Amino acid sequence: MFYGDNNRWFVATVKSNDPEKRGRYKIRIHGLHSSDVEDKHLPYAETMLPTTEGGVSGIGKIPQLQNGAFVFGIFLDGENSQAPLILGSITHLETPSSVQRDQIAATGNPRVLEDRDTNKRAIVDLQSLPIVNITDNLKDQYANGNSNVSIRRMIIMQQLINSGLSQVAAAGVTGNLESESSFNPTANFKNSVEDSWGLAQWNDAAGRLQPLKDYATAKNADWQDFFIQLEFLIVDMQTNDWVRHRVWPRLSNNKLTTRFEGVLDDFNATWNFFNNYEIAATEKYYTSGREKNAAKAFYQYQSSLQSTLDNLGIS
């Protein structure tokens, strides 16, 4: 059963270690185990150690993976996919977020980073996060999901501006969101390497969707709610210190964010958000009309603002 040419690989998240201390880990395999599969029903995976270790019981080191680690492996039984083997971890998810580090500092207990299941409250300390106020006026405009793309575009523009961005910076972000999802919080794009959801198409396979779900759970809200996703987007931009993911400090600096189209540098708000938040291949930028959508958002907002001033008799 351990020889064949039909190998299958997987990426997964470690959910818990083996209570029998045999070096196994319970894992949730992306693309195979949906959120409907309870943690208790997930499989245990064996782990591969380097040849510098003894390789027999009682000799050498044991695996040191932590709950939440993102791992890569193969199935020893090929297409049957019942015998997973972890070959290694993918390093970009090993660094705790700033929120997680704050929790460790507050509690003195690194176990706060450990697994949570559907019966546990998400590990999100809302008091340590920025407050994002969504006004009743914007919620009324959303009309319980019955608003059109044009209205949703203006809702997002206004909320980004309310949160501290200039019209130029807000347009750059909004243009990206329109290209990603047409402002649909339930939009889903899925292929062999990606399973992305929501306004910003947070990629579940890359670990980008779970923080949104955790944020929503902590607020007792539906993670597919339009305004929860808009709140999370802003909080994520402001607090997530993942490598190359520090988009907010530049976007919120009017002297550094001066346009939403043209040269692909961080002065260009549309490119800055795409490159530092979406973190996608450059060719996708050229084929998705992001700058065109950013211009649409900017000039529609300008026109809306002028109409408001005209109605108030202010020139």
Which domains are present in the chain? 8-93 (2.40.50.260), 129-311 (1.10.530.10)
Taking 60 as the threshold, does the pLDDT of residue 98 lie above it? no
Name the average pLDDT for the chain. 82
Mean pLDDT of all residues in 208-213: 93
Kindly provide the b/e burial profile for residues 209-244, where b requires at least 16 CB atoms within 10 angstroms of the residue's own CB: bbbbbbbbbebeeebbbbbbbbbbbbbbbbbbebee
Mean pLDDT of all residues in 261-276: 95
Mean pLDDT of all residues in 135-163: 95
Give every CB contact of residue 53 below 8 A, 6+ residues apart in sequence.
59, 60, 61
Q: pLDDT tens digit string along 106-140?
A: 544 444 444 433 333 345 677 778 889 999 999 99
Mean pLDDT of all residues in 32-43: 81
Q: pLDDT tens digit string along 189-208?
A: 998 878 999 999 999 988 89
Query: pLDDT exceeding 70 applies to what percent of the chain?
Result: 79
Taking 60 as the threshold, does the pLDDT of residue 243 lie above it? no
Mean pLDDT of all residues in 246-275: 93
d(CA 257, CA 99): 27
Taking 60 as the threshold, does the pLDDT of residue 214 lie above it? yes
Closest CA to 270 of 188, 132, 178: 178
* Phi-psi label, residue 183: left if phi above 0, alpha if psi -120 to 50, beta otherwise: left
Closest CA to 47 of 16, 73, 67: 73
This model's pTM is above 0.75: no
Greater confidence, 34 or 142? 142
| Length of the chain as a residue count | 315
How many beta carbons lie within 10 A of that of residue 28, not counting itself? 17
Mean pLDDT of all residues in 261-289: 93
Residue 20 pairs in a beta bridge with none
**Confidence class for position 279, pLDDT limits 50, 70, 90:** confident
DSSP strand E in the chain: where? 8-17, 25-29, 44-47, 70-75, 84-89, 188-190, 195-197, 202-203
